[in-house]
Amino acid sequence: MGGMSIIDWSVVAVYFAGLVAIVYWSSRQTSTTEDYFLAGRHAAWYVVGASLFASNIGSEHIVGLAGSGAANGMAMAHWELHAWVMILLAWVFVPFYYKSGVFTMPEFLERRFDSRTRWVLSLVSLAAYVLTKVSVTVYAGALVFKTLLPDTFGTPDNAFWVGAFTTVILTGLYTIFGGLRAVLYTEVVQAVVLLLGSFFITWFGLGQLGGWGELKMMASENAASFALWRPLSDPDFPWLGILIASPVIGIWYWCTDQYIIQRTLAAKNLKEARRGALFGGLLKVWPVMIFLVPGMIGWALHEKGLMLIPLGSDGAIDGDQVFATMVTSLLPEGLRGLVVAGLLSALMSSLASLFNSCATLFTVDIYEKIKPGMSQKHLVMVGRIATGCVVIAGLIWIPIMHKMAGGGIYTYLQAVQGYLAPPITAVFLLGLFWRRCTSAGAFWGMLSGFLLGMAKLTLEAINDSSGLSPGLFHSIAEFNFLYTSGVLLAISLSTVIIISLLTPRTPDAQVEGITYATLSAEDKQDIRASWDKWDIILTVVVAGLVVGIYLYFSFWLG
């Protein structure tokens, strides 16, 4: 296995020197909350789109998705073909968000409903970011260090902890001082590095394996494990469960999650916001080819004895170490350094976005409510302190995450999101498109959905660690996570609808301009004026690519 040479480290150093320069410039442009949290609302469409892509594709994505490709073939590709959901974001959700002038999604919910709904979403989002996204991202980044630099710090375990703590602290520092402007503009660079690095991994991997035909033949011999669509009898990824859960998670993540929406709100106008979302969708099509396929290539190289991937405790290959192993085994020096820089930048990109979004949620949704009327300078300082607290919380959670994460962090992450997403998806969809939806319905629908989702997650954790006795709780713990998303969505929708019909209608003044039915003629004119033929063309291209990939991989194994 190849190691990191002086040339490789030089490439990494040059990359990070450029990053420091961007952060320094960003810090000098930051004085108000709009500067700090929304980059002054000056971002162009290509910056928004690249940032959407880079924020989504973090180290947990590269590491976990390649690992999923090695272990489950195309099963998780459905989550990577959510470019169609980004078309919904561009045409349906962004116009509402942008015209409302909000900083955060909880703020949007308060305008539509009331402060109770806002508080629920704010607190749950903060807890979810720290306990799932931050910890999983750091864990994945630490695995990269463990694989790339196993002997640099004495032992692989030492490399794991050094990598985890170093990247969290450095990322926290540059997010604290640079704000969203630093996050946005560094992500443009990171998106390019990510795409180039992953392309070369695929190129060299296929070259060593013997081409696409060889991979296809080997996957066909294991069709049950590598097919895009699985039978209903499949215990993990039945096709009906996929059709239910994937859209629920996709709409929550791409159309309602603060972590993503913050990127579109930073655009200079509605036209740039929409086009940025569409451009992000164009980039989002490619992870199947550049992250999932390399995982399958890594599995095939291991099976043929051309590359040695570390084994897990169950004797099977450790999927989460596939991508980093391919970097060190396949790439020439210099290029290896570029890809390592890409992996590190992916980790820092996702973490920086998370830290900044957490700071925004805390400052705008919690602190300003408790202490209104504070100066812009004071609120920026509070945002920086909040970011520091999130960094500390992430560090504290790493040892716990280290014990919890078994094989397949990407599947674990989608399962957790499958329990968090349904009530939020239900409330946002009904809030925007059903005028009769009331604040009481939204509050109880969201709260009941969250509590049931957390109950399912708790039972699963207990069952996995110590085992539950056969019975109702054991059955709930074992119930497929994909179907659970559908059940939670149905319960949340039913709760919102029933309580809304039993409670007084929301006054017209409160919902004016913030639901589809109450948009003014002027609003509709503004929205119509914000798009042209190029937006239509880009939409058709993105949709065509999604359909094409689905058609090919639905039948690729014969």
Question: Residue 368: which pLDDT band, with cuts at 50, 70 and 90?
Answer: confident
> CA 380 to CA 18: how far, in whole Å?
25
Percent of the chain scored above 90 by pLDDT?
Answer: 26
Percent of the chain scored above 70 by pLDDT?
Answer: 86
Cβ burial 299-312 (10 Å sphere, 16+ → b, else e)? bbbbeeeebebbeb
Mean pLDDT over each residue of the chain, to the nearest integer:
82
Question: Residue 36: which pLDDT band, with cuts at 50, 70 and 90?
Answer: very low
- SS3 for 230-256 is ECCCCCCCEHHHHHHHHHHHHHHHHHC
First to last CA, the chain: 35
Residues whose CB falls within 8 Å of the CB of residue 360, separated by 6 or more in sequence, listed in order: 37, 103, 104, 180, 258, 262, 383
Kindly state the average pLDDT of the residues 311-319.
73
Kindly state the average pLDDT of the residues 193-205.
81
Least confident of 57-71, 247-261, 294-308: 57-71
Return the pLDDT at 496: 97
Question: Residue 297: which pLDDT band, with cuts at 50, 70 and 90?
Answer: very high
Return the pLDDT at 1: 44
Better pLDDT: 124 or 276:
276
Q: How far is CA 555 from the centre of its chain?
A: 28
> CA 514 to CA 301: how far, in whole Å?
53
Residue 478: is its pLDDT beyond 80? yes
Q: Closest by alpha carbon to 61, among 349, 420, 279?
A: 349
| Contact by Cβ (8 Å): 140, 321 | no
Q: Which amino acid is at 485?
A: S
How many CB atoms within 10 Å of residue 289? 15
Return the pLDDT at 40: 45
Better pLDDT: 62 or 181:
62
Question: Residue 379: which pLDDT band, with cuts at 50, 70 and 90?
Answer: confident
> CA 144 to CA 164: how far, in whole Å?
10
Better pLDDT: 176 or 146:
146
Task: Write the DSSP string, 374-430.
Answer: --HHHHHHHHHHHHHHHHHHHHHHHHHHHHH--S-HHHHHHHHHHHHHHHHHHHHHH
Residue 406: is its pLDDT beyond 60? no
Most confident listed range (50-59, 115-124, 408-417): 115-124
> CA 301 to CA 452: how far, in whole Å?
43
Return the pLDDT at 299: 92
pLDDT tens digits, 214-268 = 999 999 988 888 899 999 998 888 999 999 999 999 999 899 887 788 778 778 8
Kindly state the average pLDDT of the residues 17-21.
74
CA-only gyration radius of the chain, Å:
23
Judging by beta carbons within 10 Å of its beta carbon (0-12, 13-18, 19+), is residue 198 exposed, middle or buried?
Answer: buried
Q: Closest by alpha carbon to 150, among 161, 135, 139?
A: 161
Return the pLDDT at 251: 95
- The model's pTM is 0.83
Residue 87: is its pLDDT beyond 90? yes
Residue 439: is its pLDDT beyond 80? yes
Q: Which amino acid is at 359?
A: A
Structural domains in the chain, sorted by start: 6-23+36-415+512-554 (1.20.1730.10)
Return the pLDDT at 180: 46
Return the pLDDT at 245: 94
Secondary structure of residue 483 in the 3-state scheme: helix
Return the pLDDT at 46: 86
Least confident of 46-50, 65-69, 315-319, 547-551: 315-319
Residue 517: is its pLDDT beyond 50? yes
